[in-house]
Amino acid sequence: GNSVTQMEGPVTLSEEAFLTINCTYTATGYPSLFWYVQYPGEGLQLLLKATKADDKGSNKGFEATYRKETTSFHLEKGSVQVSDSAVYFCAPWGGGGNKLTFGTGTQLKVEL
Amino acid sequence: DADVTQTPRNRITKTGKRIMLECSQTKGHDRMYWYRQDPGLGLQLIYYSFDVKDINKGEISDGYSVSRQAQAKFSLSLESAIPNQTALYFCATSDPLTGGDTQYFGPGTRLTVL
């Protein structure tokens, strides 16, 4: 099955700082790759996805590029806001059973 | 109205009690999932259902059972709750007609077993 390694949090940044959250995965074949975000007190919601090598997913200023050669899908944002404070989950999909495999999540705290 | 709803949102119970968590969806999706979330462990899949007659165990199904009463409803039961089942539980849906990979989550049920 698939597995995911995410950088540990919490990550604390000042507003307008650059964000990178690392994610690497192991999988059979070429899975679709997802980032989900969980705001305080809420369920997870899709942030972005990429379905094949070199694809770039983007949404709300966040980006991640599907890197097959390094099996990575790092999340980036050029200028974070306080409202981006949340927990971010990397998740490949597939690898038998058509399921998502979630990483442990990385908490982001953005301060003024 | 939310597309995926869960009831109750919070529940405190005692060891040995039977508990049912309910999930309803108005998205018309065939696939439904139950996950639990524990601090530092991400989300783990308990059960999933690809249609009313297709139910499958996930990674951590021991101690849990499910019922898919209709396309729109998927319930999770703890037959005899124990303290290490204290967690945040999420229901999710996906649509196989659009690839089935994007999942839509409910707001979660916080369960505490004393």
Q: Select the residue of A89, A98, A99 nearest B42 (Cβ to Cβ).
A: A89
B53-98 pLDDT, tens digit each: 999 999 899 999 999 999 999 999 999 999 999 999 999 999 877 7
A57 part of contact set with chain B, CB < 8 Å: no
Are A52 and A67 within 8 A, CB to CB?
no
What 3-state DSSP class applies to B42? strand
Are B5 and B24 within 8 A, CB to CB?
yes
Nearest chain B alpha carbon to A9: B40
Q: Select the residue of A4, A44, A98 nearest B100 (Cβ to Cβ).
A: A98
**DSSP codes joined into one string, B61-110:** -TTEEEEEEETTEEEEEESS--GGG-EEEEEEEE-GGGTS---EE---EE
What is the structure's pLDDT at B3?
92
Residue with more model confidence, A27 or A111? A111
**DSSP 8-class letter at A82:** G
Per CB-CB distance under 8 Å, the chain A contacts of B106 are 43
Phi then psi dihedrals of residue A111, to 5 deg: -115, 155
What is the structure's pLDDT at A44?
92
A2 part of contact set with chain B, CB < 8 Å: no
What is the structure's pLDDT at A1?
74
**DSSP 8-class letter at A96:** S
Beta bridge partners of B57: B47
Per CB-CB distance under 8 Å, the chain B contacts of A89 are 42-43
A43-81 pLDDT, tens digit each: 899 999 999 999 999 999 999 999 999 999 999 999 999
Nearest chain A alpha carbon to B109: A43
Q: Count H helices, E strands: chain A? A: 0, 11
Q: Do residue B90 and residue A43 have CB atoms under 8 angstroms apart?
A: yes
What is the rounded distance in angstroms from the CA atom of residue A104 to the CA atom of residue B114? Answer: 25
